[in-house]
Amino acid sequence: MQKFNADCLHFKGDVPCLPHKENGYHCDNCPKYTPISKRILIIKLGAIGDVIRTTPLVKTYKKMYPDCKITWLTQTPAILPKGQIDEILKFDFASSLYLQEAQFDIAINLDKEKEASALLLKVKAKEKYGYILKDNVSQPANELAFHKYHTGLFDDVSQANTLNYCQEIYALCGLEYQGEPYLLDNHANAGYVWPQIDKTKKVIGLNTGCGDRWTTRLWPIEYFIELAKKLINDGFEVILLGGEQEDKRNLEIKEKSGAKYLGYFSLPQFINLINQCDLVVTQVTMGMHLTLGLQKKIVLMNNIFNPHEFDLFGNGEIVMPEKKCECFYRGQCKFGQSCMSNLPADLVYNAVNRLITK
C-alpha cells in the first residue's frame, strides 16, 4: 500500500501534489515533505479593498510559523495572491460545508456579517479571533475584538480612534502590526500591453469614481478636468481610471481635458493598468487599496472617514476639504451638497507635485 502524508504542506488529497507533478516524488521518500506547523483559517468575505488590506496577516503568520498552512475564505478569490496563500476558497455552500468539518489551530473572522460570524461559531479551532455569532448577532469572540467592534457601533468612538485598519485587525488577533505591506499580484505576467501610455513621462492616474455606497466622497467632475489640464500642461502623462460605472464620466473628462482614457477592464487588467502609473489620485475606493497594494505613490482625497484609518506606508498624502465634513460615515450629504466641492483642484495638484518629485 502506498504511503501518503496528509500532514504535509504540499499534500492535496484529491489531486497530485506539486513535488510529484514536477519530480515524480512519492510520499514514502519525498525530500520535499514539510509537516504543517499550524493550520490557520482567515475569513474575510467583504469588499475587495477590505480583503486587500487584510493580507498583511499572511506575511506575519508565515514569519511566525514558517510551515503553516493558511486557508482564506472570501467572496473575491481572484484578488488574492495564489503563490502566497496555500488554500483560497470562494464563499459558497461547498466551502462552508468543508470548513465546518475541518480542524484548525487558529481561526479568524474579520467580518461582522452574520453568515461569517455563524461560520466561525461552527468551525473547529483551538483559538478563535474576531467576530462570532451570539444572540443571533455578530459579537466579539473575545475581549481582543472589543476595540474594533465598538468603532463600528458608535460614531464618536470611531471618530476618536487613532489606530489604522491594520493596527486594529492585528490587535484583534493578539498581534502587533509592524508596517507589513499588502499582498497583491500585479499581473505582470498576464501579457497586458499599453502602447497608448507614454512611459517616457511620469504617469499620473486619476481614479474618478467612488461607487454607489458612499456618494458623499465623490469629487466634482469639473475639478478632475481642471486637475488633468494642469498636470498635462506640466508634461505629465495623465490617464483616467475607473470601471463601467465611470465610463460616461471618464469620457467627458477626456473630451474636456485631453487626458487619456483607455476604457474599463476586468479586475486583473485594471490592476495591471494601475501598475503602469507612478502616482494615483483617488478618493477612498477600491482603487486606493489597489494602489497601496502595488506600492505606488498616492494622493488620497477623504472627507467622511477618520483619516487615522488609512496607512499610506509613507508613500502618499491625504487631502481633505477646507470645510470640515459633518457627515461622518454617511452615504449622502445631510446638507444636500457634498463638502468635496470645498476641496479645490489646486490642493490636489500641489500634493501631486510634492510627491512626484520625491
CATH number at residue 82: 3.40.50.720
Q: Is residue 225 part of a domain?
A: yes
Confirm whether 14 is domain-assigned.
no
The residue count of the chain comes to 358
Q: Please name every residue paired with 241 in a beta bridge, in sequence order, or none if there are none.
A: 207
Same structural domain, 246 and 148 = no
Contact 44/173 with Cβ under 8 angstroms?
no
Residues 85 and 150 in one domain: yes
Same domain, 222 and 164: no
Would you state the pLDDT for residue 325?
Answer: 55
Do the beta carbons of residue 70 and residue 104 sit within 8 Å? no
Local confidence band at 227 (pLDDT 50, 70, 90 cut-offs) = very high
Which structural domain range is residue 124 located in? 36-172
Average pLDDT, the chain: 89
In this prediction the pTM is 0.87
pLDDT of residue 335: 55
282 falls within a domain: yes
CA dihedral 163, 167, 173, 175 (to 10 degrees): -120
Least confident among 75-84, 128-137, 255-264: 75-84
**CATH number of 344's domain:** 3.40.50.2000
- In a shared domain, residues 119 and 215: no
200 and 144 assigned to the same domain: no
Question: Tens digits of per-residue pLDDT, 11-31?
Answer: 898 898 898 988 988 988 889
Say if residue 158 is in the same domain as residue 85: yes
Q: What is the percent of the chain where pLDDT is above 90?
A: 61
- Identify the residue with better confidence: 129 or 318: 129
Domain-embedded: residue 11: no
Please tell me the number of Cα atoms within 13 Å of 158 on its side-chain side: 15
Number of domains observed in the structure of the chain? 2
- The CA-atom distances, in angstroms, between 141 and each of 119, 134, 173 are 12, 9, 10
The answer to whether residues 168 and 198 belong to one domain is no
Q: Which residue has the higher pLDDT, 63 or 151?
A: 63
**Residue 351 CB burial class (10 angstroms; 0-12, 13-18, ≥19):** buried
- The verdict on 315 and 217 lying in the same domain is yes
Question: Do residues 157 and 274 both lie within one domain?
Answer: no
Residues 263 and 114 in one domain: no
Measuring CA to CA, which residue among 299, 227, 301 is closest to residue 257? 227
Residue 61: what residue type? Y
User: In angstroms, rounded to a whole number, what is the distance separating the alpha carbons of residues 101 and 289?
Assistant: 33
Regarding whether 126 and 216 lie in a shared domain, the answer is no
pLDDT computed for residue 160 by the predictor: 81
Query: How much is the CA Rg of the chain, to the nearest whole Å?
Result: 23
Neighbouring-strand partners of residue 248: none
Least Cα distance to 275 among 342, 213, 332, 199 occurs for 199
How is residue 207 written as a grid cell? 481614479
